[in-house]
Every structure is written in C-alpha cells, then in structure tokens.
Structure 1
Amino acid sequence: MKKLAIIFYFFSLTLFSQEIKLNVSNFENYIKEVYKDKADQLIFSNPKQLKNKKEILDRIVIINNVENMEEDYLDFETLYIVTTYNKDLSLSFPKRIYPDRFNPFLYKMNIYNDQPVYYYYHKTKQLIKIYPSKY
C-alpha cells in the first residue's frame, strides 16, 4: 500500500506540473492584436521577423500548479504590456493563463537568452517558461 501511495505521489507531480505548449494556430491573431495595422509591414512581409516571432512562440510553455516561487523566477505582473502599436490594449493581466489563448507578444519578456527564463504568476500559481534561443 505504501508503494502505491509513493507511485501515485510521483505520478501526480508529473501530471500536474507538465509543460503545456502555446497554441501556435493563433499566431496570426496574436501578431495582429499587438501590431494592429502595422502587422503586415513589420512582421508578415518580413521573412526574418516572421521566422523570429514563430520561433519565440515555440519556445514558451506554461506550467500549472506551481506552489512555490523560486528565487530565480521573475514576477509576471511586473512586465510591461506592449502598447506601442495598439493603444487600445488592456493594461491589466489575465485572471488565468490559458495556453490556448495566451499571447506572449503582449508582454515585454526576456525572450533572447541562453538559459531558460521563468515568470511566475502569483494569482494563479502558474509559471511561464521561455526556453533559450537556438540562434
């Protein structure tokens, strides 16, 4: 019985702290939301920028049910919301981060790094993990 409890404990850790990739099928909408009428000029008509933005989206995952904020985690709520091209964007943070709807381009995050970067969201006990750039 004790072995079964230990196995269940480790299984639940794996189950509840798995990395969930962002929804890449929303890529075009994410870009349009942030860049508005400049999206074509700045991103979609620029192959290098387009590849760069898609690569960023592929490097970000969400981890749910993270109970403790580690020392090297950054606070998600200290990020700036990028309103340079879209002044109508809300300056508030979401109630929860849903991987199928989270737009990482809305926030000024440290995306160019050689080590993983973590942003902890206290409200929801979620972690945004950004893997290092391959380039």
Structure 2
Amino acid sequence: MKQVSPFLMLLFLVTSFTYSQTFKIDSANFDELIAQVYGERAQDLIYKDSKVLETYKSILNRLEIIKSSEEVKGDYQFLSTVPSYKPLNQVFSPKNFNPYNYKMDFFRKDETVYYVVDNTEYVILIKPLK
C-alpha cells in the first residue's frame, strides 16, 4: 500500500474546511472614522460625553467582518438596506469600512446582529452590548 505524502494530506485537510477569514477594524483609526462621518459636530455629539465616547469605542471591539464561502442562515439584513449618513459609491472593502456611517443596530443587548454585504461573501456581525 502506498503512503500518502504529507503535502497531499495537508492539501486535502486545508481544502476540506470551509474558507473563512475574520477582519477587525483597527481602533487606532477611531478618531478618523468619527471625523469622516460627524465632521465638526463630533466634539458635541461624541467626545463631549465620556459615556457616549466609550460606547462608540466599544462598537469597534464588538464588530467583526467575516469573509466566508458559506451561505448565511438565520436572521440578517442586507447592508444596502441600512440607511447611511453619507452616500457611498465605492466597492466594499473590510479595510476601508466605516461602521459609523451606517445606522446599524449597534446597541442591541440580547443577541448578535448580522448584516450581509450585497454581492459579496462578507458578513458584518455586531456582538451585543454587555
């Protein structure tokens, strides 16, 4: 009986699992992301109140973008149906995504919220507030 080479075995194992990648938004970009959406109003709307500031910062810690070849099952909303503060005419990129531009359900306390990015394999998930 022939032995299977370690390379072929590894290749089989890797290709047998569903492909998925997870992206997090860099919290070091918080000020820039807020400025893109709120501009000069950021001081009054976000920075003025420490509780509001901490809540908005926590959004980046609770948000993940997943690229997966699996179909999303369960309750979700398409990102294109979520109102935005500023119109966007760009192709979706996890590296350039600004969640503050969207009126997403950031403050849910009972369950994770899912948004499917139209015509892509990306899913945005927002974990509940604690």
Q: Does TM, scored on the shorter chain, surpass 0.5?
A: yes
Question: Could you say which TM-score interval applies, normalised by the shorter chain?
Answer: 0.7 to 0.9
> Which residue number corresponds to residue 97 of structure 2?
102
Query: Shift of the alpha carbon at 1:67?
Result: 4.2
Once the two structures are overlaid, the 10-residue window that deviates more, 65-74 or 33-42, is 65-74
> Which residue number corresponds to residue 77 of structure 2?
74
- Aligned-residue sequence identity (percent) comes to 33
> Which residue number corresponds to residue 60 of structure 2?
57
| Structure 2: runs of 5 or more not aligned | none
Number of aligned positions between the proteins = 123
| Structure 1: runs of 5 or more not aligned | 83-88
Q: Secondary structure, in 3 states, of the residue corresponding to 1:53?
A: helix
Paired residues of 1:73 and 1:118 also in contact (CA < 8 A): yes
After TM superposition, which residue ranges in structure 1, 4 or more long, deviate above 6 angstroms?
A: none
Relative to the length of structure 1, the TM-score reads 0.79
Rg (Cα) greater in structure? 2
Amino acid at match of 2:106: I
Aligned-residue CA RMSD (Å): 2.1
Q: Secondary structure, in 3 states, of the residue corresponding to 1:64?
A: strand
Q: Distance in 1 between matches of 2:81 and 2:89?
A: 10
Amino acid at match of 1:92: L
Relative to the length of structure 2, the TM-score reads 0.82
